[in-house]
Structure 1
Amino acid sequence: MQSTKRQLRARWTPELTSAFERELVLASQRPGAAFPASPFGTTAAGRVDLRGARLTTPIRQLGATGVDLSDVVFADGASVIESELEDCVLDRIDMRRVFVRRRFVDCSFVGAKLSGARLGGVFEGCDFSDATLSRSVASGVRFERCSFTGASVRDVMWTTRCVFDHCEFEGVAAFTGSVAGSVFIGPTPPDLGGCIVDHVQYEGGFPV
């Protein structure tokens, strides 16, 4: 039987959380160090099981492959800074108003809470379906083959040559804010009617 969000969070005692966060700090101080193991081992899919944790320590300058961060809460300044994540699950993660930056490859952010987040770097093959990205800020970020299907993108500030290369925006509700100076590549332009579009470029046959 699949664990509920409440059950996943309840298993993280203060002692287990503190011990894991100490390992995070130590790993960030050792270039090339492996991502810390979870006290709960791996999920049925074989990913490092961090589901439901509440972190107050940033994931900083680390590489991680195959980590499940579903339902994790980043609090008190925790963030993902200058790190590279691949094949990681961040579904329903709470990363409101924090930094999410460097490189993310084939990661899932389905239903993630990213309102007010500061996005940076490169996102390749990432799934933001049904995520909340309202009031998020992105400057010079590259999104390649990402899905924003059904995401909330109100009052975003995605500017200074952000690149959206063959991304999907189907079902996006109220795309508003600014995409000034950004570049959209692909066969179908998103509906940018509610956005500031100064100096936007569209490469794919249709002008924005």
Structure 2
Amino acid sequence: MTPQTKRQLRDRWTPEHTASIERELVLAARRPGASAPTSPFGTTGGGRIDLRGIRLTTPIRWQHAIGVDLSDAVFADGASVNESELEDCVLDRIDMRGVFVRRRFVDCSFAGAKLSGARLGGTFIGCDFSGATLSRSVASGVRFERCTFTGATLRAVQWTSRCVFDHCVFDGVAALTGSVAGGVFIGATPPELDGCIVDHVRFEAG
């Protein structure tokens, strides 16, 4: 029977399954640009590598991963996505609280993701953060292009040092609080910024 619930997705991972994936991640980190590990569960109905529900304690580092589904995965005990490139990946409802999420992400979905306190870095292009929790996240000089933040929680963020929001969508965001000092908003109207530090923020028509 194909697992459907978060609990079913997580319960299918035996210690042996997880250890095998983490060994592949360690080896891949020694080969910059290596592709994503294979999965004992093959691919999803959408044709992506099926890593849904895994609990990782090893970082994804120096990888170029295309078409991976990490929905409902948990990053714990030092796991992160660091200096990697992810393309067409699904990270819906992923638990990445307080970890590094950095380098380059293209057409990735973080819908409903738990990213509180995450350290964001690099470039996010065409990514979907709908319903994600990004409270207390930190971003320095990050570029967001055509990203969707519909209904996301953006409280007490520290998005500074010229973060760029190029044609991003903020529909349904009640307020953005914290700091976007030095940021640039291009071709889009940001959410309510009352209570947010906006020193040297620029708004461009695009």
The TM-score normalised by the length of structure 2 is 0.97
**In the aligned structure 1, how far is the partner of 2:98 from the partner of 2:114?**
9
Alpha-carbon contact 1:93-1:113 (below 8 Å) kept: yes
Look up the SS of the partner of 1:149 in the other structure.
coil
> Does the aligned pair in 2 maintain the 1:188–1:204 contact within 8 Å?
no
In structure 2, how many angstroms separate the alpha carbons of the residues matched to 1:71 and 1:31? 26
Number of equivalent positions: 205
SS in 2 for 1:84: strand
- Deviation of 1:190 after TM superposition, in Å, equals 3.0
Determine whether 1:6 maps to 2:7.
yes
For 1:99 and 1:31, locate their aligned partners in 2 and report how far apart those are by CA, in whole Å: 18
Distance 1:194 1:19, change over 3 A: same
Q: What's the counterpart of residue 203 of structure 2?
A: 202
Superimposed CA distance per residue, residues 117-143 of structure 1 (whole angstroms, 9 cap, x where no aligned partner): 000000000000000000000000000
Moved more, 24-33 or 161-170: 24-33
Q: Which amino acid aligns with 1:43?
A: T
- Structure 1-normalised TM-score? 0.96
Where does the alignment leave 5 or more consecutive residues of structure 2 unmatched? none
DSSP-derived class of the 1:155 partner: strand
Partner residue, 2:145: 144
How many angstroms apart in 2 are the aligned matches of 1:182 and 1:59? 29
The worse-fitting range, judged by mean Cα deviation, of 160-169 and 26-35 is 26-35
Query: 1:35 maps to what in 2?
Result: 36
Identity level (%) = 79
Q: Which runs of 4+ in 1 moved over 6 A?
A: none
Structure 1 gap ranges (5+): none
Whichever residue aligns with residue 175 of structure 2, its letter is: A
> Residue 159 of structure 1 corresponds to which residue in structure 2?
160
Deviation at 1:187, TM superposition (A): 4.2
Shift of 1:5: 0.6
